[in-house]
Amino acid sequence: MIGPLWLPPGSVRALLAFFVVFVTCWLMVRDEELPLALSEALFTVLAYYFATRTYLKAMEAGEFHRARSKEFEAMARGFSEAAANPLYLPVGTIRIAVILAFVGVALYLAYSGGLNKLLSATTLLLVFAFFAGQIMKRLIRWYRRGKPKQSTGAFEHIRAGVGVAIGLAFVAFYLSGYYEHAPPQAHKVFLAFIIFYFGSR
């Protein structure tokens, strides 16, 4: 199937994702502040590319009978189209390239400015929190493969409980006004845990 610009479906999205990731990494390497809109676009790209395969596997397993709205079904069809190899690249190439790009930036920052400079890069910290969540999700799937599906287990309840507790603490952190006197790294820790949870689902 040929998509826009006579390329495989998903190729334009792949190019735009590369552009967003490249500009983000470029600004990080130059030690320049990332515009808020760019950070939002980055996490939209990450959520799209790292969630796509999850939806595709669910479609292949016939789990989309649960869809309760036309919007959800339309989303599923969009993900299905993305199953083709964008830019004629092997499956997973874009995700691997994105991961390697941020690993490269992390190594550069650690080499050029030490651990303090690396830890001060908020967006990079949140990106790796998301990746860590993705790794946990895949490890859990690998552990459960071949086993019959069960209702929500104790681990999921504990993970959800911890996530909600951290979220409530995050809200209290701001409502109490404590954030005005707390170290600047405090909100990064809260956000990292929240992003990790989203990545692990």
Q: Which helix or strand (DSSP H or E) is residue 10 part of?
A: none
pLDDT of residue 19 exceeding 60: yes
Cβ(179)–Cβ(173) below 8 Å: yes
CA-based nearest residue to 95, from 125, 140, 134? 134
Q: Return the higher-pLDDT residue of 187 and 67.
A: 187
Residue 170 identity:
F
In sequence order, which ranges of the chain are alpha helices (DSSP H)?
A: 11-29, 36-60, 70-81, 93-119, 122-144, 154-175, 186-200
Say which range, 105-109, 143-147, 158-162, has the weakest mean pLDDT: 143-147
Name the pTM for this structure.
0.73
Cα atoms found within 13 Å of the Cα of residue 2, Cβ hemisphere only:
3
pLDDT of residue 21 exceeding 90: yes
How high is the pLDDT of residue 56?
56
For residue 180, how far is the Cα from the chain centroid?
A: 29
Of the pLDDT bands very low, low, confident and very high (cuts 50, 70, 90), residue 67 is: very low
Q: Return the higher-pLDDT residue of 117 and 127.
A: 127
Of the pLDDT bands very low, low, confident and very high (cuts 50, 70, 90), residue 11 is: confident
Mean of all residue pLDDT scores within the chain: 79
How high is the pLDDT of residue 82?
47
- DSSP 8-state class, residue 2: -
Token look-up 């189209």 returns 81
What percent of the chain clears pLDDT 70, i.e. is strictly above it?
79
- DSSP 8-state class, residue 84: S
pLDDT of residue 132 exceeding 80: yes
When pLDDT is averaged across residues 157-162 and rounded to a whole number, the result is 86
